[in-house]
Structure 1
Amino acid sequence: MSNEFFVRFDENLLRLPSCLAVHAQLHPNLIKFTCEEYVKYIQQFHELNICGIIRKNEAETTVLALAAYRKHLNTFYTIRFEIDDLIVDEKERKHGLGTRLMHYLIDHAKQEGVSKISVHCNPIHTDAHRLFFRLGLTINCFEFDLENKTVLPDNDQIRIIDVTDLPDKENEQLLIRAHEIYQQLRPHLPNDQNEYVKQLRDICRTSPARILFVLDKNDNILGLTCYRITENIQYSKHIYCDDLVTDENRRSSGVGRFLINYMKNEREKLGIDKLILDSGVQRGRAHKFYHREGFYISRYGFSMAI
């Protein structure tokens, strides 16, 4: 007798040869690992959760499908429920397992109080795209990967200040001064300044993330970025830029390039290869800028309100 179950994967399930075999169908680089090495590799991603569908009978337990997801605070969704991987064993496809697994993840996200889910997917995986479209997800952003590693000279007319670890009073003053600029990118951020400051501080403290401002010689705030050092199976350890915005009155003045250059420098210092960011599909002007700076679209971002 055979039964199928939705489960959160523990170390024993991760150790199953079928778990590694299924996951390697999406990430072929994983095939180089033994089962023990795979478990250790997955466990280094502390924010990553693995769940899926298994089949159990008297003789063995087999992984049929799995998903890797993360949950963290950000300025876009407040709580971001992000599915990095979703894969059904190629021998088990056409049986509705992908749909069932997505419904399981949606129900789990609802229980966590999440209002939207997001899924990243390679542009070539068109079967997965069709699944997401059938379930009501739409492409809301493109994920950009920085290919250009050239670091540019600093601009002596502007400077960067990292507000993350400043004393509370100074941190609050700068965050409030940047309120209107931040809302140019994220108009849904709280209008109440106390709520706004608390939300940004919570993101920095719990995610964690860092917030940087660009100021001119007169201490006017010209733009800002929020970024974090994070890890996933697609990119391993990388810098992920949550937010990048230049004051709409200061566009085309080199502020965006200055911020990207700063993150390039941080990447080099830390020995990290990748700098990743998402950009809404409607932001064509930003996409042109990212392409000029050496970024290319590596994945689509699907999302759905739940």
Structure 2
Amino acid sequence: MSQDTIVSFDENILQLPSCLAIHTQLRPSLNRFELKDYVDHMQKLCQTNQSHICGIIRKTQSETIVLALAFYRIHPTTYDTIRFEVHDLVVDEKERNHGLGTQLFQYLIKQSKECGAPSLVLQCDLTNTKAHGFFFRHNLAISSFGFAVKTMNLLENPSHIKVMDITDSSDNKQLLIQAQDVFLQLRPNLSSDQNTYIGQIHHICQTGPARIIVAISNDEKKDILGLAVYRISNNIKYSKHIYCDDLITDENKRSLGVGQSLINFMKNEATKLGLSLIALDSGCQRGRAHKFYHRQGFHIDQFEFTLFY
């Protein structure tokens, strides 16, 4: 008699050979790991308490095996307050078409609702068309394109723009107030109340942890021309990398090199940290932004599916 159960994975489950075997079906790069190295890698990914791995196990009298697994992250963002983001969702190829994927997906929906997320976001490679079909059948829609750049070559940095990291600045509050109108152009869901807005940004920076940078006119006016929020992230597809949550240019200051200056700053930071990739996502409707990212060397390498509640 066997029993299938959905559980959060602990060290003992990660040590099961079936766990690595199934995960490798989705992420062939994991083939480089011996089982012990895989366990260490997954524990490091989950040590921040923002990343989690769960799945379906089958227990018999003689053994426990993994049938399906999911790797996901929960963190605060300016876009949807709490982001519930699924990076990996895979069912053992020998166990497919038995409803296990649906069971695991329903469990993830429950988890996302319990943590207060307004939606469930699921990232998927462009070529994984079978998974696309599964997501469409479960009422998800492609909401964004995932962009990535692996070369840190810098384009020309305009001399009239200065980029500053204001995360820990003594003038942080005042600069955030100056940047509020620009921030709201991209994220209208942010509070219009100054104190609430500042509290939201500080919470994101502290909990992420995330960094906030601003592009300022290099003259006596010191106008806020644009800003970006980014964090050091780590997942199985990209390993350690920079993920850009927000990249905003004042709608009245476009085509002046503001976005390019912000991206150059992040590329420099990636180089300093020994990282070789920057990733971001952009809504499907933002065609102008997509053209800009392509000019900056980014390419689309995944879809982002979303289920809104």
The answer to whether TM tops 0.5 is yes
Alignment-derived partner of residue 20 in structure 2: 20
CA distance in 2, matches of 1:147, 1:30: 20
Whole-angstrom CA distance in 2 between matches of 1:153 and 1:303: 36
Q: TM-score, normalised by structure 1?
A: 0.97
1:267 matched to 2:283? The reply is no
| Counterpart Cα distance in 2 of 1:70 and 1:276 | 16
Aligned twin of 1:159: 162
Describe the superposition over 1:91-111 as per-residue Cα deviations: whole angstroms up to 9, x where unpaired: 011111111110000011111
Identity %: 53
1:71 aligns with 2:60: no
When the two structures are superposed, what TM-score results if normalisation uses the length of structure 2? 0.96
Corresponding position of 2:7: 7
Q: Which amino acid in structure 1 is aligned with residue 198 of structure 2?
A: V
1:210-242 CA distances to partner (integer Å, 9 max, x unpaired)?
Answer: 111101122001000000011111101000000
| Mapped partners of 1:157, 1:111: distance in 2 | 47
- Deviation, structure 1 residue 149: 2.4
Cross-structure match for 1:180: 181
Deviation at 1:88, TM superposition (A): 0.4
Q: What is the letter of the counterpart of residue 30 of structure 1?
A: L
Shift of 1:116: 1.0
Residues 157 and 260 of structure 2 are in contact (CA less than 8 Å); yes or no, is this contact kept in structure 1?
no
Residue 203 (structure 1) aligns with: 204
User: What is the RMSD computed on CA atoms of the aligned residues?
Assistant: 1.0
Name the counterpart of 2:290. 287
Mapping of residues 137-152 of structure 1, within 5 Å: 137-152=140-155
Q: Is the 8 A contact 1:148 1:293 kept in 2?
A: no
Correspondence for 2:236 among 233, 238, 241: 233
Gaps of 5+ in 1: none
Give how far 1:148 is off. 3.4
Contact between 1:51 and 1:66, CA under 8 Å: does it hold in 2? yes
In structure 1, what is the equivalent of residue 195 of structure 2?
194
| Cα shift at 1:153 | 4.6
Whole-Å separation in 1 of the counterparts to 2:289 and 2:157: 22
Aligned residues: 304
Structure 1 residue identity aligned to 2:211:
R
Q: Is the 8 A contact 1:122 1:300 kept in 2?
A: yes
> Paired residue for 2:131, among 110, 128, 133?
128
Say if 2:152 and 2:268, in contact at 8 Å, map to a contact too: no
Unaligned runs of 5+ in 2: none
Counterpart-to-counterpart distance in 2, 1:158 and 1:127: 46
Task: Give the Å deviation of 1:48.
Answer: 2.1
